[in-house]
Chains A and B, each alone.
Chain A
Amino acid sequence: MKTLGLNRVISLSLLLLLSFSCASDLDYDQVNDIKLEPVFIANLAYFDIPANEFVTGGVEQNVIFDAPTVDVFNDSFFRKSLKKVDFFLEMENTIARAYVVDLVFLDRNNQVVHTTNFTVPEYTGLENKVTRTEIFENTQLDLLKRTVRIAFTLRMLPGAPLTETSSGNLKLRSGVTAYLVVE
């Protein structure tokens, strides 16, 4: 009989433990509501051309050009999550000549999806910077996502001739702020 009593003690204490215990309602389906909205910053493009690169063998090169590839939009996850892009561009000229700089964004069929151009005056000893901010959303952004190359064209405007020893640089710094939404 005594063992029966003990049995009861244990059963009761177990029952007590479990009945005093309680659990708030949890809803694991909330995981489906997850929405991440990170904002990343990164370099966009950069160059720094010394004045003497505009002179080859004593002859001025009035136009220089390059069109490097851009493959960030190859990644479908990135393409899908990207909801907004800000460009920050800064041209700084310390060469005693004025320039026109064109950035042309091209898609795989060499169609232009976006252009940016700067006219930078000649350097006169004072700070000589031109900055610009561009914002891409919706259709403009969709267009930008087709970019596979950026064509950089630097045109030197007429002025006092440059030599191999001319001083100064033409410099582009640019950054991008990418707003992602991951759901």
Chain B
Amino acid sequence: MRKMIMILVLLLAIDCYSQNKQILYNFTSVPQSLMTNPGADFKYDWYAGVPLLSGISANVGSSGFSAYDLFADNGVDFNIKLRNAVFSTTRKDKVAINEQIEIFNGGFKIAGEESDSYISFGMYQEFDMLSYVPKDIAILALDGNRDYLGKVFNLGDLSAKAEMLSVFHLGFHKNITEKLILGVRGKIYSSIYNANSTNNSGYIYTIPSETGVYEQMIYSQLQLNTSGIAPYDDEDYEPNVTKDITKRALLGGNLGLGFDAGFTYYPKKNIQLTASVIDVGFIKHSKEVESLTFKGTYKYEGVVPNFSSGNSAGGGYQEFKDAIPLDTLYADYTTWRPAKFNTSVQYSFDEERPEDCNCLNYDPETTYKSAVGAQLFVMSTPRTPLVAFTTYYRRKIFKALQMKATYTLDSYSYKNIGLGLSSHFGPVNFYVLADNLLEYSDVTKANSLSFQLGLNVIFKNSKK
């Protein structure tokens, strides 16, 4: 039981960065694949997700260290583990969590004269957290500056953001021609809270000097923007968190707009190309905003008596607070959603000839039992975009069971094997997707894990 809770906690709490849904992408037996490509080749008369259960996904990643590295109950002093973890990371390492739960989701077909159009809609809640390892600041805290004479500590290492939001979406896709499907999806974001500190810069250094013993300089351009958090700072405020979250989730938060777009194209019957952009959008934060800044330049010289005027400098600490003041601002700000780009190429084989084929009314659309393909995923981050490359094999095991196996290379791991299963029992679709399967031998040592599952009801008219 403990193990299960541990796994769940890890999956749901650490669901780190990637947001790469490499198993779900283009796995068109699952309706949620539309969320990764609004132009996915998914046909239905109508479908509905079971509310709250149709799409649960969590993603946790830490490229520099694992939970085991820090918290293993192995008798090693925590401070030693902490030092090892910090010194084994670089400023590029990150910890990321992403979690999504679909509140509701559904879709229906609009029959057209030439081709059918498909509408899909829904609402989901999302939590996103991304933090780079603030390595230089961690070194200063662990070691101080004595052993780092001449080193320039980079305050820009501090880069983190967290957001909880709800998303309302409406999508549309259509077969433009036999070979081409185009889709778009509009989104309204309602931010429940946001905190971000990603445009930081500055430095601290200490170098030997002929004037004093050292030349010491701090240049700081640090800023933390928050929205939806400020009221909880107020002692007089009696928080009703549930009420606040519900209100903000239902368009009462800071609002934003965005879109997804994508296509599926068949240059040949057994070759498929797809691509999509997801979450190209922004949120304008104007309600309950509060920003903290820590900006300025300070050169510390120590106590300097002034014998001639008697008007001496020396209030180093006060001088510092005046030079680099902690200010609170209440200005609106805008954040961009992490935009995601997916693309894939797929080759299908193993043509399927249904035994119960009604050959008089034969569906000209050939279906294939197997496919291999490759996918590329790119996501914008405050620094270098995140890139993942996936190869996969997809197979229809039975009529009602589809499987997709993936192998993914990214900055977290070079041995990420994932597996997805999607079953259809009558109209009921159940899917479960998990990656980093090799890490399940000890999940605490995993650098990243992701998990998605859900339950849908899909009605498809088998006749075209």
Contact = CB atoms under 8 A, between A and B. Distances in A.
Interface centre among B3, B71, B140, B445 (most CB of A within 10 A): B71
A43 B3 contact: no
B213 interface: yes
Contact of B143 (A39, A47, A65): A39
Contact of B140 (A38, A67, A154): A38
Nearest to A65: B307
A22 B303 contact: no
Interface stretch (B124-132, B262-270, B423-431): B423-431
A64 B441 contact: no
B441 A43 contact: no
Given A24-B68, A27-B71, A68 B313 contact: yes
A68 B79 contact: no
A14 B212 CA distance: 67
A33 B78 contact: yes
Of the candidates A24, A150, A152, the one having the most CB atoms from chain B within 10 angstroms of its own CB is: A24
Contact of A47 (B70, B305, B400): B305
Nearest to B302: A43
Interface stretch (B103-111, B289-297, B432-440): B432-440
Contacts of A41: 144-146, 149, 206, 214
Interface string A21-53: 111111110110111111111111111110001
Contact of A175 (B212, B314, B441): B212
Contacts of A178: 144
B115 to A, nearest CB: 32
24 contacts: A2-B398, A13-B421, A22-B440, A23-B6, A23-B7, A23-B443, A24-B68, A24-B72, A26-B444, A30-B71, A41-B144, A42-B214, A42-B302, A43-B213, A46-B211, A46-B304, A49-B307, A53-B308, A66-B306, A67-B305, A68-B312, A71-B316, A72-B317, A173-B213
Given A21-B7, A26-B444, A45 B305 contact: yes
Contacts of B85: none
Contacts of B317: 71-72, 74-75
B72 to A, nearest CB: 6
A27 B67 CA distance: 10
A20 to B, nearest CB: 6
Closest 8 CB pairs of A and B: A68-B314, A43-B302, A38-B144, A175-B213, A21-B440, A68-B312, A66-B305, A30-B78
B400 A3 contact: yes
Interface of B: 2-4, 6-7, 10, 67-68, 70-73, 77-79, 81-82, 140-147, 149, 206, 211-214, 216, 300-308, 310, 312-318, 398, 400-401, 421, 423, 425-426, 430, 432, 434, 437, 440-445
Contacts of A72: 316-317
Given A14-B432, A46-B302, A88-B213, A22 B443 contact: yes
Contacts of B81: 30
Given A14-B432, A173-B212, A174-B213, A20 B441 contact: yes
A177 interface: yes
A182 B443 CA distance: 32
Interface of A: 2-3, 6-7, 9-10, 13-14, 17-18, 20-28, 30-31, 33-49, 53, 64-72, 74-75, 88, 90, 149-150, 152, 154, 173-178, 180, 182
B79 A33 contact: yes
A23 to B, nearest CB: 4
Given A17-B437, A49-B307, 12 more contacts: A3-B425, A6-B398, A22-B441, A23-B444, A27-B73, A33-B77, A39-B145, A41-B146, A42-B206, A45-B305, A64-B307, A173-B212
A176 B440 CA distance: 51
B3 A21 contact: yes
A23 B146 contact: no
Contacts of B3: 21-23
A20 B438 CA distance: 10
Contacts of A49: 307
A23 B68 CA distance: 9
A31 B78 contact: yes
Given A30-B71, A66-B306, A154-B307, A9 B401 contact: yes
A176 B212 CA distance: 11
Contact of B315 (A9, A71, A173): A71
Contacts of B307: 47, 49, 53, 64-66, 152, 154
A88 B305 CA distance: 18
A34 B82 contact: yes
Contact of A38 (B67, B82, B142, B425): B142
A63 to B, nearest CB: 10
B34 to A, nearest CB: 22
A13 B431 CA distance: 12
Nearest to A23: B6
B423 A46 contact: no
Contact of A40 (B78, B146, B303): B146
A37 to B, nearest CB: 8
A71 B318 contact: yes
Nearest to A35: B79
Contact of B212 (A18, A43, A177, A180): A43
A24 B445 contact: yes
B57 to A, nearest CB: 16
Contacts of A28: 71
Contacts of B315: 68-71
B417 to A, nearest CB: 12
Contacts of B310: 66
